[in-house]
Amino acid sequence: MLSNLSQISRSSTWHPGYFPFSRPLSLPPFSKMPGGVTVKDVNQQDFVKAFAAFLKKSGKLKLPEWVDLVKTAPHKELAPYDPDWYYLRAARHLYMRSGVGVGAMCKIYGGRKRRGTKPAKFRICARGVSRNVLQSLEGVKMVEKDAAGGRRLTAQGQRDLDRIAGQVATAARKAQ
């Protein structure tokens, strides 16, 4: 048995630094598009602002008339201060989580309901707001219903998001 171990240690393919699953630290992070930039590669705050500006500038996303009046969740006290909150809410989560439905979006945007002297509880956001955002994105052909449930990005929607992520990445490179 000792002879077998010595043969393995003298093998030409094995050495102490050989790990087939490791990669050097200098390589860039993996992305699905070779040579391209995806949403996962850029700063998310910058991306969300750029995508909201894209939706607003394109004018394709139809805003409901109650946008400036509605309170977005039962745990909120006031309506959003930002007049472009509808575009911001429509921004990023479908890229990161495929198959997200109205219920999952409500959990994402939910929060703590402060109830005075009683303990706080988690509350989901208003379902009508999330449903209307997803329906608006369906009307623009960025989102489609998934057969497994929920909604997912269309090929055109993913292409738009990756293109905007590329623009954000080039702007970040120029700023450095």
Q: DSSP string spanning 59-101?
A: --SPPPTTTTT--S-TT-SS--S-TTHHHHHTSSHHHHSTTB-
Question: What CATH number corresponds to the domain at position 157?
Answer: 1.10.10.10
pLDDT beyond 60 at 4: no
Number of compact structural domains in the chain:
1
Looking at residue 35, what is its pLDDT? 61
pLDDT beyond 80 at 39: yes
pLDDT beyond 70 at 106: yes
What residue type is 68 in one-letter code? Answer: D
pLDDT beyond 80 at 110: yes
Domain range enclosing 95:
2-175
First CA to last CA across the chain, in angstroms? Answer: 59
Question: How far apart (Å, rounded) are the C-alpha atoms in residues 82 and 75?
Answer: 18
Phi-psi region of 50 (alpha: psi -120 to 50; beta: other; left: phi over 0): alpha
Quick one: 89 exposed, middle or buried, by C-beta within 10 A (0-12, 13-18, 19+)? buried
**Cβ–Cβ < 8 Å for 112, 169:** no
Among residues 143, 107, 141, 139, the alpha carbon closest in space to that of 126 is found at: 107
pLDDT beyond 60 at 163: yes
Higher-pLDDT residue of 99, 115: 115
Among residues 121, 120, 92, the alpha carbon closest in space to that of 108 is found at: 92
**Cβ–Cβ < 8 Å for 22, 99:** no
**Cβ–Cβ < 8 Å for 140, 82:** no
Among residues 57, 56, 54, the alpha carbon closest in space to that of 67 is found at: 56
pTM of the model: 0.70
Looking at residue 1, what is its pLDDT? 52
Which range (10-14, 37-41, 96-100) has the least confidence? 10-14
